[in-house]
Every structure is written in C-alpha cells, then in structure tokens.
Amino acid sequence: VDPDTPPDTLSDRSLRAVAQLIKDGAAKQIVVMTGAGISTAAGIPDFRSPKTGLYHNLARLNLPHPEAVFEIDFFRDNPEPFYLLAKELYPGNFSPTISHAFIALLAKKGLLRMLFTQNIDCLERAAGVPADRIIEAHGSFATQRCIDCKTPFPDDQMREHVKRGEAPRCARDGCGGLVKPDIVFFGEQLPEAFHSNISVPCAADLVLVMGTSLLVHPFAGLPRRAREGVPRVLFNLERVGDMGTRADDVLVLGDCDSGIRKLADELGWRDELEALWRGV
C-alpha cells in the first residue's frame, strides 16, 4: 500500500491510534492470532528463526528433513525425535510471557472475541485466557490417543512417558499402536473448532497478529478474513504474510513483548498488565 494512502478507520497507522480505537469503545470484538514467536521469550524455541529455531536444532537428530518430526509416516517408523521434542516443549516447564498476559487482560475486559493460536504449549490457558475464547488450531498436549485405533491414553501415564522421552503404546487388547498427543501433524485435519469458527475473524473490529511467520495454511489465511477497513496490527520480528498491505494495517516490528508493552502504555493499562502477569 502507498504509505500516503490514508487509513479508513484509524486516525493514523500507529499504536497510539489503535489504543484510541479501543479506548473509544470502537474495538470490542478483538480477534488475536498467535504463533511460536510469542513463546520464545518464555524459553520455547520457535520453528523457523535462524540458529535458535527448532528446525535448525533438529539437525542433530539426523532427520531426512526437519519437518519430518511432525509427519505421521515418519512418526510411525521413528517416534523418538518427536518424543525428544515433546519432552522439551511439554506444558508445565514454562511460564507465560507478558504478551500472553495481555491476551488474558483483553478477555478480562470483555474485549476478546477469540484467540486463534498455532501454539501447542498451552501458555494462553496458563496466562488465564478462558478456554471458551481459545481455538487451538494445531491442537495441544492436553489429550492424546492411539494413532491406529484412536483409543484415548491416560494423562498421568502420558506425562511419565514424555518425561522419559519414550513413545507410549496403546493398551487396548491386541492393538499396541503408537500413542500421539492430539497435536496436528502435517497433512492431518485441523480440529473441528477451527473450522466451525473460521468466520469469526470476519466479525472482528480489530485484529492483532503476534509472533507468527504466517507460513502454515490454513491458519495463515485468517488475517485476510478481516473485513476491509478493520485495523490489523502485526507484532513480529519481521513483516509476514500480507500484513502491511492494507491502509489500516499497523506494523510493530521487533520483539512482541516490547510492542505489547507500548500498546499497554498507550492504553494506560501498563500497571494492570504487569500485575496480572506477575500473578500468573
């Protein structure tokens, strides 16, 4: 978009203008879309950042290609790399960031229409975002089942296996299939909740996109579902997807915690946010 094109809704393409929209009560159906970048400050590596990303570090596992760790056919033959990763990523090992807390604060103020997350770390829940406001588009570690007969596997036994980095086997008589957490592997269907809420972004009056490369489909198509004229704000290290191409897009490039703190300052919510974060 030509930088001189005036925005339709915002007074200008700045965080201050975004904050004003919220303070005026004109943005109260906020839809948030997140990815691994909001959890890197919690100590969980993302996939694609050069050098620090998981894909870079998976090189030591001798995978045919890094994505293989999330491919069902590879998993069937060799589940160990996935379970090594699961041991690192397992919920309970990490605490939410200020960005997670900000989403919880939006919910507390009744302004969060929905959070769509690609993350499987459950840190949004840990930060206090209500479960009925979260769409875990790529599933989570909360439940698990056999990849063959689909029989659910008990949580406590799963935790023990993950701690040891070992793949559990289905306990059903005569099955013995591999057990996998209900996180979405490449080529697998996204959860029903994703599809049944796919139109929610069309009803948003403000969209916040945080810490995602917007490379994984169909999730990557969500920001485009916002109606024209609806401001979309990107908090990310780099520009991604089509963010920045609309007149009401605001790019906040840098680490998302700093961007979120700036927005909280503009809103006059900073103390409340820090207090909420300290409490989780």
* Tally of residues, the chain: 280
- Per CB under 6 A, does 46 bind ligand CNA? yes
CB of 67 to ligand CNA, least distance (A): 10
Binding track over 180-219 against ligand CNA, x by CB under 6 A: -------------------------------xxx-xx---
138 is annotated as an active-site residue: yes
Q: Which residues contact 203 (CB under 8 A, 6 or more apart)?
A: 29, 31, 113
- Dihedral in degrees, nearest 10, Cα atoms 231, 234, 239, 241: -60
CB of 6 to ligand CNA, least distance (A): 28
The one among 18, 19, 33, 40 contacting ligand CNA by CB under 6 A: 40
- Looking at the chain, list the stretches that DSSP marks H as alpha helix, in order from N- to C-terminal side: 15-23, 54-57, 72-77, 80-89, 98-108, 123-127, 155-164, 192-196, 256-267, 270-279
- Per CB under 6 A, does 230 bind ligand CNA? no
CB of 221 to ligand CNA, least distance (A): 13
DSSP-based helix, strand, coil % in the chain, nearest 5:
40, 15, 45
- Per CB under 6 A, does 35 bind ligand CNA? yes
List contacts with ligand CNA (CB under 6 A). Answer: 35-37, 39-41, 44, 46-49, 53-54, 118-121, 138, 211-213, 215-216, 236-238, 240, 255-256
